Each structure stands twice: as C-alpha cells, then as structure tokens.
A = this chain, B = another copy of it.
Amino acid sequence: MGAVDPETRTGAAAPFGDRLRAAMDAHGPLAVGVDPHPELLAAWGLPDDPTGLERFALTCAEALGGAVAAVKPQSAFFERHGSRGVAVLERLLAELAAAGTLSVLDVKRGDVGSTMAAYAQAHLLDGAPLAADAVTLSPYLGLGSLRPALDLAASTGRGAFVLALTSNPEGASVQHARTDDGVPVAAAVARGVAQENAAAVRRGALGSVGLVVGATTGDAAARLGLDLPATAAPLLAPGVGAQGAGPAELAAVFGAARRQVLATSSRGVLAAGPRAADVRAAARDLAERCAAALG
C-alpha cells in the first residue's frame, strides 16, 4: 500500500502540518507535556488516584487551552490508573479540541498489520474516544510497519511523530546502528519521513509526519547524516527545561532546521501550578522564549 498524499486527500480538515505551522506562528513553537507524575500530583496537593488525575488534567486544559501551540499528554501516566485514568485522558483530549488547541498524544505505539491499524483507529480516526491531532510512534518494527497509521493520519488531517534520535544514552544502541548500506537507523527513519512529506517539501510547507529528535543530542543528528531540513518534518524535541536544554541551545542543536522545531516541556511549566493562571503564564513565557530563539 503506498502513502496517501495529504495534499490530495478529500477530508475536511487542513493537513496537520499546516495546522501546526499556524499554531506555532500564533503561539510560539512549544508543546506543553501533560505528564501527571505521582510527585507532580503531590506537589499540586492532589491524590494519586483518578480523582486527582482528573483535577490535574482539567486544570491543564484550562491553563493551556488557547494559550500554546500544542499540548502533549503522556499516556503512561493515565494508563497507570487503568480505564478510569484513560477516561480522564479522553476528557482532556475533548477539552483541548473544544479549545482549538492541538493535541499530540504521546503513546509511542508501534506494531504490525491489523494491530497497527487498530492503534491508528484508536487515535487518528474521527470520532474515536481517544482521537488526538497527532500521536507519537515507535519504529522498532520498521518505519514501513507504521503505514496504517501514516495513511489514516493523512486521510483525516492528523499527524504523527516518529521516534528517530533520542537524548537518552541507551538510545544509541539502536538508533546509531547502521543498515547494510551504511546508513544509521535514525537517518534511515528521517529519509523515510522525508518521502512521506514529499508534497509539503515541494510547496515549502511543514509536513504532517514529524520526527522525535531529542533537544540534547548535540551534534549527533549531523554526525549521523540526518538531513533534517530536507525532511520538512516537524521536530518534536523533548528535553527543554527540566531535562537541560534552553531555547538558545535548541537553536544551536537544530541549526537550519530550527523553524521545524516544536519544543516540548512538561515539568518546567507544570511546576508553576497548581493555579491555572500560573501555569498559563509559565507556558506563555517559555513559548515566547522558544519563539525568540527559533523564529
């Protein structure tokens, strides 16, 4: 099955890449991660149960809706609470949609065939309870195994961010390994994503299939031959704030690809809580600094 060209699809929504570009231009290139750690719930004076989780999530929706380019809920912290936690995630996604704020659901799913199609239907299909504007995907089974998700995303105006090169030290054992033609795995993923975004590349737009590239990977991307500007991929860059990189370092790491970067910060923003107004102010401040450094 070949790629569905998002430029020629018949759905109503604009391509995800266009919607993301508009949101980044309006609010700054920042996605705030909603990661309800037990420690963070405690810091907000909330119990580590579905009730506390719901209060946390709704405060985030109130604080961040309309204020930032995107919000990135981390599914693991909802799944910890079982189906009641997943129901809170549904509610958060619905609140963000109602506020017109893009949701990037961080699930890092990756499977094959009809199972991959089921994950795609869970998160990228109109009307699905857990539908988001984009999801994160993991390519250990090969980028090609993600085809059902990439196709469904293209046909519904949604997006995907594929794990490519991450900041954690263990990542190199897979991501730096070289395929038979000498291309590192992370670079091969980037090449494949560039093909997905070919139509967006032609019109100088942001593509709808993104990459996850750590904000503290230093010169690894260049060293491994990832030609990020050529991919037109939005670049989800975790690790801003708590994990070490500042907006200025982001610009240095991403160089010519810096206009593609969607910086991500979670605790760096949410530590301002529990008042929604304080979270909103912290998010806007960081978004402005990201815009200044990356714009």
- Choose the segment among A54-62, A164-172, A225-233, A272-280 that binds chain B (4+ C-beta atoms closer than 8 Å): A164-172
Within 8 A of B (CB), among A98-117: 106, 108-116
The 8 A CB mask of A162-191 against B (1 = contact, 0 = none) is 010010111111111111100011001000
A130 to B85 Cα, complex, angstroms: 11
State the number of copies, please: 2
List the B side residues contacting A180 at CB < 8 Å: 176
List the B side residues contacting A35 at CB < 8 Å: 114-115
Contact status A79-B171, CB under 8 Å: no
Contact A81 B129, CB 8 Å, known A118-B76, A177-B179, A179-B173:
yes
Contact status A118-B173, CB under 8 Å: no
Which B residue's beta carbon lies closest to that of A267? B114
Which B residue's beta carbon lies closest to that of A130? B82
List the B side residues contacting A74 at CB < 8 Å: 115, 118
- Choose the segment among A14-22, A24-32, A139-147 that binds chain B (4+ C-beta atoms closer than 8 Å): A139-147
List the B side residues contacting A171 at CB < 8 Å: 140-142, 145
List the B side residues contacting A129 at CB < 8 Å: 81-84
**A80 on the interface (CB 8 Å rule)?**
yes
Contact status A115-B77, CB under 8 Å: yes
A88 to B173 Cα, complex, angstroms: 37
List the B side residues contacting A79 at CB < 8 Å: 86, 118-119, 122, 130
**A138 on the interface (CB 8 Å rule)?**
yes
Q: Which are the 10 A-B pairs with shortest beta-carbon distances?
A: A82-B129, A142-B170, A144-B170, A76-B118, A177-B177, A83-B87, A83-B86, A140-B140, A79-B122, A76-B119
- Chain A residues proximal to chain B, CB less than 8 Å: 35, 37, 74, 76-77, 79-84, 86-87, 89-90, 106, 108-116, 118-119, 121-122, 128-130, 138-145, 163, 166, 168-180, 184-185, 188
